[in-house]
Amino acid sequence: MFSEDKKEFPVGNGKIIQGNCLEYLSEKPFSERIDLTFLDPPFNQNKEYNYFDDNLPIAQYWEMMFKVCEGVHRITSDGGAIYFMQREKNTEYVLKCLRETGWTLQNLIIWKKKTSAVPCNTKYGIHYQIIAFATKDPPRIFNRLRISPPLPPNYKYERDNGVYVTDVWDDIRELTSGYFAGDEAIRKSTGERFHKQQAPIALLLRIILSSTKPGDVVLDPFAGTGTTLVVAEQLGRKSIGIEIDPENVKCIKDRVNNIREADNVEKYYKDFIHTENLNEIWNLKSDTTVSKKKKLQTLNLFEG
């Protein structure tokens, strides 16, 4: 099942592929049908990556993203979903890329992070990132999550049963550097963050709960630290990650096989209790959530 040269490794109920996602998505036959893909590529903003030039000519970068979206579309089940995260300034490219590769846009989600805006001199400061949610034809599944955000100051009465999640997500904090990133941020023994682009588990929890059911297959072609895989595993979804940097692959293996307390999704369960079909989609019976969790603050690979 796993290739001889050990480029594919089983992790939890899924696998991590060490390699270039373009190669896997455009050329090789893919054995699984994918139900949901989370796409969080480098944003081409000159950040430091060991195995990626994050300062490509714009046309080359979007040619690459086109191939990724096309490849994901090819291996996605009918009605399957993609969530493509990007900087707001790239919105028009994202929408074009998805449209021209056959995806049907469902929502342009605004992720208004709970951190300060990026100041700008000649225009308004930037306070959000976009997540384009699209499907291959009409969605095969969409679970309408209900959450209980704090009551706005002009509201007099508590809500009895929460509100449906909308296309503006302003309740999920990004993992910034320093103290505020908390325990969830994976750190080296020096205290420095292991991967500056690590996504919050709350973000992936919302996406996976909304667009899949237990047993579905979730793909992350730019897996980074494996946030998608660690959440999918706890919810009883099968996950496939692709990551080019071997150090990140090592991190993913440890992170998914030894789920840390900081990555435990159970703490968010109460936030969704007003969701009509929560028990069905959360997969409470899964033994991955409770029994496999380990109270590790630092992953083994960073010791020594």
Ligand X SMILES: C[S@@+](CC[C@H](N)C(=O)[O-])C[C@H]1O[C@@H](n2cnc3c(N)ncnc32)[C@H](O)[C@@H]1O
Angle between helix axes 246-257 and 227-234 (nearest 10 degrees) is 20
**Binding letters toward ligand X, positions 165-204, x by CB under 6 A:** ------------------------------x-xxx-----
- Looking at the Cβ atoms of 34 and 275, the one nearer to ligand X is 34
The secondary structure element, H or E, covering residue 250 is helix 246-257
Would you list the DSSP string of 102-113?
A: T-EEEEEEEEE-
User: Does residue 80 belong to the site contacting ligand X (CB under 6 A)?
Assistant: no
Residues 40-59 within binding reach of ligand X (CB under 6 A): 40-42, 49, 51-52
Least distance (Å) between residue 268 CB and ligand X: 16
Strand runs labelled E in 22-148: 34-39, 76-87, 104-112, 128-135, 146-147
Task: Name the token pair of 233.
Answer: 């595993």
Task: Identify which range of 128-136, 244-252, 264-272, 276-284 contacts ligand X by CB under 6 A.
Answer: 244-252
| Binding segment (CB under 6 A) for ligand X, from list 163-171, 222-230, 254-262, 272-280 | 222-230
Q: Residue 83: how many CA atoms within 13 Å on its side-chain side?
A: 25
- Tell me how far apart the alpha carbons of residues 302 and 251 are, in angstroms, rounded to a whole number: 9
Q: In whole angstroms, what is the distance from residue 21 CA to residue 283 CA?
A: 29
**Residue closer to ligand X, measured from CB, 143 or 248:** 248
Is the Cβ of residue 35 or residue 243 nearer to ligand X in the bound state? 243
- Least Å from the CB of residue 198 to ligand X: 4
Residues lying near ligand X in the complex (CB under 6 A) are found at: 20-22, 40-42, 49, 51-52, 195, 197-199, 222, 224-225, 227, 242-245, 248
